[in-house]
Amino acid sequence: MAAPWEDVLRDTPAIREAAVVAVDAALLEGVLMRTEGEPNASDVVNFAPFTLLPSAVPRTLFEQAYAVQQDFNLLVDAISQNKEFLERTLASTIKVDDFTARLFGIHMQVLEEGLAQSVFLGINRSDYMFDCGVDGTAALKQIEINTIAASFGGLTARTLPVHQRVLKVLGKSKEASQLLPNNPSKGLALGIAKAWELYGSPSAVVMFLVEEVQRNIFDQRCVENELWNRNIRVVRRRFRDVFEKGSLGEGRRLYMDGQEVAVVYYREGYVPKNYDQQNWEARLLLERSRAVKCPDIATQLAGTKKVQQELSRPGTLESLLPGRAEAVARLRATFAGLYSLDMGAEGDQIAAVAIADPDRFVLKPQREGGGNNLYGEELRQVLEKIRDSPERTSYILMDKIKPQPALNYLLRAHSPLRVSECISELGIFGVYVRQGKEMVMNTAAGHLLRTKAIEHADGGVAAGVAVLDTPYLV
């Protein structure tokens, strides 16, 4: 599955020239991030890291990932409405994981009060790697599905013209014209706009709930712009603002500074460090409201690693999606081996296997955002320490995916240009809107390819490990 630019990869003068063009093209096209030094100001910005060249992706696996996205949308939506499933699946996790327990507590509290929300909007991104079998054939295997704050739908679209330019500079015009069109932020905005419309208050706004530190603001602005273009007002607020100025009115309508909010789009709230006591109170207020939360707390819980692991048990998909045998088969085909570490014989046995052969597995806690998983010797040590304690149930085990590396150049500000052995992760954005029981939108909205050097086991673009890329189908 080599890309047709293997011939130029070692042509240092040509690569150097192309890299200079690439960085300027990235700045021109808006592949931007705020700097680490000034994360909340746009006075100084830089290009977001990206690969010099597109990476080869097998066409059949790319198409498979798109073909299963609507199924994943239906699945996540079904889980979010299944109180018993979430309760049963997360029972062991919430005993030992405070963060999941807190989210779950809000979920139960909101259900007890009765949902004021009747329109539901899901924006997710299902991430995959291409697992290389012993016979050399690659298979599409899901890494995880992100049901909250799935990012880079904006910047990935802007990376495409940069790669087209680079290929042309390197004499690959034909290949440049074959790169696929891709604009996820437009699809995301269409979902938000639909939810806003169904909410039914033309004067109400869309609120982006954003972090205190906003380095990735330009990615969010891409979605924002699409909404303004449709004459939908967007405001950006933090949990702190909600705590200070948010309130519920009649019918639990949400107001910020006296202005009604139709949709709350979370780009925040997915890791423990996003919350102090006030922020938890703000989250509860939002969840209790009639506003369309993207995602609501049940949908966030549907994206936990524990839920992912339970989905791989025989019979679970069938019970969540009754009468949809074909969807179940498509979904299951993307699952890697996933194992529960719940207390009992099953957990004891897989823990022993992983301690004996740690390189076969990844040990994952219930966390998002990259950099939390354990591999190899570290996995062995941690698992050995907690193998007989309930603490182990805050983790799941997963088969380690082993993709075939390829050479590329990772362009980062202030970093020397050198060739790296790289692996890629493909994400497909899913968008759906449900009104009461009726699905009114269910789409795949575009893709994201992220690439990293093989020496990094873990971590995404925001974590500073992976970089933006564009797939070249082979």
Contact between residue 468 and residue 51 where contact means Cβ atoms under 8 Å apart: yes
Catalytic residue among 92, 124, 146, 394: 146
- 462 binds ligand ADP, rule: CB under 6 A: no
- 458 binds ligand ADP, rule: CB under 6 A: yes
In this chain, which of 398, 426, 441, 461 binds ligand ADP, going by CB under 6 A? 398
Name the residue with tokens 């007989």: 388
Separation between Cα atoms, residue 108 and residue 87, nearest integer Å: 9
- 469 binds ligand ADP, rule: CB under 6 A: no
Report residue 91 as tokens: 């029972």
Q: Which stretch binds ligand ADP (CB under 6 A): 102-110, 219-227, 342-350, 368-376?
A: 368-376
Q: Does 355 carry a binding-site annotation?
A: no
**Residue 369: active-site member:** yes
**In angstroms, what is the minimal distance from the CB of 219 to ligand ADP?**
16
Interface with ligand ADP in residues 345-364 (CB under 6 A): 362, 364
Q: Does 375 carry a binding-site annotation?
A: yes
Residues 6+ apart with CB under 8 A from 147: 76, 122, 124, 295, 299, 300, 302, 303
Q: Does 151 carry a binding-site annotation?
A: yes
In this chain, which of 425, 444, 449, 469 binds ligand ADP, going by CB under 6 A? 425
In this chain, which of 58, 369, 376, 464 binds ligand ADP, going by CB under 6 A? 369
Neighbours of 454 (CB within 10 A): 12
Report residue 312 as tokens: 């791989």
The residue (of 22 and 397) whose beta carbon lies closer to ligand ADP is 397
The residue (of 105 and 370) whose beta carbon lies closer to ligand ADP is 370
- 336 binds ligand ADP, rule: CB under 6 A: yes
- 207 binds ligand ADP, rule: CB under 6 A: no
- 397 binds ligand ADP, rule: CB under 6 A: no
**Residue 63: active-site member:** no
Q: Does 267 carry a binding-site annotation?
A: yes
**Residue 146: active-site member:** yes
Interface with ligand ADP in residues 135-154 (CB under 6 A): 143-144
Q: Does 34 carry a binding-site annotation?
A: no
Q: Does 370 carry a binding-site annotation?
A: yes
Query: Pattern 119-138, binding to ligand ADP, x per CB under 6 A?
Result: --------x-----------
Catalytic residue among 55, 151, 182, 312: 151
Separation between Cα atoms, residue 239 and residue 256, nearest integer Å: 11
Separation between Cα atoms, residue 458 and residue 372, nearest integer Å: 8
The residue (of 5 and 270) whose beta carbon lies closer to ligand ADP is 270
- Judging by DSSP bridges, how do beta strands 419-435 and 406-411 pair with one another? antiparallel
96-119 burial: b if 16+ Cβ within 10 Å, else e: bbebbebbbebbeebeeeeebbeb
Binding residues for ligand ADP, per CB under 6 A? 127, 143-144, 336, 362, 364, 367-370, 372-373, 398-401, 425, 458, 460
